Amino acid sequence: MAIFDNLGNYRNFGLLIIRVGLGAMFIFHGLPKLQGGPEMWNGIGMSMQNIGIKFLPTVWGFLAAATETFGGALLILGLAFRPACILLTFNMIIAALFHFGKGDGWMGAAHAVESAIVFAGLIFVGPGKYSVDKK
């Protein structure tokens, strides 16, 4: 359609919208987990048992919460974008496995699976020109 022909000229703006929206939502979800302290981190870190890692659940939980919170901030800024997306992809894979292991099925794991797919795609696309990492 002719009305949409020129929208490709604004792909960097589209990436900015995606980065800011996803980043804000991940800060929103991650910050309470980060502030939850060792008891919450331990509970989150127990998810690593789904891939056979049974040691230091508090550390893994803290790292997951920090990844969501600071990864969201890095997304917004477009700083260390690809490493942040790699960590967030891994985080969401573990979250999806947690939901599957709990018996939640696809409906319970959908958010984590969808987020993992988006972050995996963003690894290849990059942050766009409206970012701190722009070249």
- CA distances from residue 135 to 58, 67, 127, 128 in whole angstroms, order as listed: 38, 25, 10, 9
Provide the residue ranges of all domains of the chain, joining segments of one domain with +.
10-125
What tens digit of pLDDT does each residue of 27-76 get?
A: 999 999 999 999 999 999 999 998 899 999 999 999 999 999 999 999 99
What tens digit of pLDDT does each residue of 110-125 get?
A: 999 999 999 999 999 9
Residue of 74, 97, 69 whose CA lies nearest to 85: 74
pTM here? 0.92
For residues 84 and 87, what is the distance between their CA atoms, to the nearest angstrom?
5
